[in-house]
């Protein structure tokens, strides 16, 4: 089963090879003049818990299975921990079995993407469009209706109950 999952992930990554390595819509978005884009590293460090700072500002990844948001099943909205921009509705969340909060849809205007080659293969990385905080990666192995899996670091999110 693990070998099959690895093959699916590798084939999905190869399919992404033609993607741009530049951030898409980040500078042209309605958030281009956001004050969050002008914050200094010291201001971010003071604003965020350590793990959230490492994830959002330095593209770290939290350990799988450690986020309390994995077990969050109430109605509500998941927002960027850096700037509170709404990123996911609770109805879009699903259990991907990966150990990270996963969603099958995201509001297109609220995320920016780029290709990440950190593992030697291309992966689509996504960020909050307002503060450019790193959220996670999107894969093509999610459920219907989109077939997408937005694999998010829980440390990059806050949950606001309905």
Q: Which DSSP string do the residues of 117-157 spell out, in sequence order?
A: -TTSS-EEEEEETTT--EEEEEES---TTT--EEEE-GGGE
What is the radius of gyration, based on Cα positions, of the chain? 15
Q: Given 83, 128, 131, 151, which residue is catalytic?
A: 151
Burial 85-94 (b: 16+ CB within 10 A, else e): bebbbbebbe
Sign of CA dihedral 133, 18, 95, 98: negative
Catalytic, 80? Answer no
- Containing H/E element for 21? none
As a whole number of angstroms, the distance between CA 146 and CA 77 comes to 19
Enzyme catalytic residues: 151
């Amino acid at each position: 089963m693990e070998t099959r999952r690895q093959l699916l992930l590798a084939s999905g990554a190869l399919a992404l090879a033609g993607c741009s390595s530049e951030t898409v819509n980040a500078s042209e978005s309605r958030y281009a003049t956001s004050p969050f884009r002008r914050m200094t590293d010291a201001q971010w460090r003071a604003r965020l818990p350590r793990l959230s700072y490492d994830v959002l500002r330095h593209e770290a990844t939290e350990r799988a299975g450690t986020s309390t948001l994995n077990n969050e099943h109430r109605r509500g909205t998941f927002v960027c921990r850096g700037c509170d921009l709404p990123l996911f509705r609770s109805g879009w969340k699903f259990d991907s079995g990966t150990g990270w909060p996963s969603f099958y849809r995201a509001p297109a205007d609220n995320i920016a993407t780029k290709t990440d080659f950190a593992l030697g293969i291309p992966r689509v990385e996504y960020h909050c469009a307002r503060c450019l905080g790193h959220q996670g990666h999107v894969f093509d192995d999610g459920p219907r209706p989109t077939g997408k899996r937005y694999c998010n670091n829980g440390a990059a999110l806050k949950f606001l109950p309905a």
